[in-house]
Structure 1
């Protein structure tokens, strides 16, 4: 991959969580969440994006989502479990992405709303096709993901510098 190739970011919201009597950080996936996480993994594989890095929140539901989704990918990228992704704002998520090494081309970030949807909105200065309209109509339900592309180094990633290429959400 040449330095002229765009970088890609997939913003992936965790699948549907259960609501047992545990702290929020410890909430596991619901049965439907486990099914949707695997379905999202299949759709991620269909994008053909060769992920170099997965940044995943340390919350139980995000770790379970990624564990199920990554099984559907042709190969497993390096995964970093990052505490700062839990309950992070779009600005905090950008700060984490800005720390990514320049030899990394494609990242999947597994996190939470409202930060994931907010980041998709904030980063995307342009849109291909009807991705923005579909994302606006559906919102960002559990197990949804947005695919964005941008040029330049990770340190240069800031609001409006990416293009929203695609959006997917499980059927309800």
Structure 2
């Protein structure tokens, strides 16, 4: 694989969720989340990344985030709703990404903290200094995303093998 054409992994945390009296998996988006999700979608479109695959947690708030963000993209990727993303650790998320077919170039993963932030930190040995500083300063709030580059087959993805290219979070 040419290093001029790295794969892209985008890690999107679900938008702000509400706290009604329902099980955690069934928590819907709050009003702010419904406002921030399309904005995140527009910012994702601004990256110019053509996503081949979206892996989305089955939790209500992640499905709603994706449903509101994806119409903002110029191309709707194949979406797989994946139970294993809910409450997944960075290691479990890497194992899931290792299963990605090699004909898939760019993946967006829509999930939860602390796994999403942990995965960004674990994968990114190298980083654009400005993106790393923004992520360090902001953490990984609801509707934030990190863009990572990776130059090998999916089965080779492991800690320290990606580069943090970009980071975005909605304004408070």
The TM tier, using the shorter chain, reads over 0.9
The residue that corresponds to 2:6 in the other structure is 6
Residue by residue, what CA displacement relative to the aligned partner does 1:88-107 show, whole Å, maximum 9, x if unpaired?
00000000000000000000
- How many Å separate the matches in 2 of 1:138 and 1:128? 15
The residue that corresponds to 2:166 in the other structure is 166
Q: Does 1:109 align with 2:83?
A: no
Question: How far is 1:124 from its partner?
Answer: 0.0
What TM-score, normalized by structure 1, do the two folds share? 0.98
Question: How far is 1:129 from its partner?
Answer: 3.5
Q: How does 1:38-117 map to 2 (within 5 A)?
A: 38-117=38-117
- How many Å separate the matches in 1 of 2:73 and 2:140? 22
- How many Å separate the matches in 2 of 1:65 and 1:38? 8
Question: What is the number of equivalent residue pairs in this alignment?
Answer: 170
The residue that corresponds to 1:146 in the other structure is 146
The residue that corresponds to 1:28 in the other structure is 28
Residue by residue, what CA displacement relative to the aligned partner does 1:46-79 show, whole Å, maximum 9, x if unpaired?
0000000000000000000000000100010000
What TM-score, normalized by structure 2, do the two folds share? 0.98
The residue that corresponds to 1:16 in the other structure is 16
**5+ unaligned residues in a row in structure 1: which ranges?**
none
- How many Å separate the matches in 2 of 1:63 and 1:42? 17
- How many Å separate the matches in 1 of 2:65 and 2:135? 20
Residue by residue, what CA displacement relative to the aligned partner does 1:7-26 show, whole Å, maximum 9, x if unpaired?
00000000000000000000
The residue that corresponds to 1:132 in the other structure is 132
Give structure 1 regions of 4+ aligned residues with deviation exceeding 4 angstroms. Answer: none
- How many Å separate the matches in 2 of 1:83 and 1:27? 15
- How many Å separate the matches in 1 of 2:73 and 2:153? 26
2:152 is paired with a residue whose SS is coil
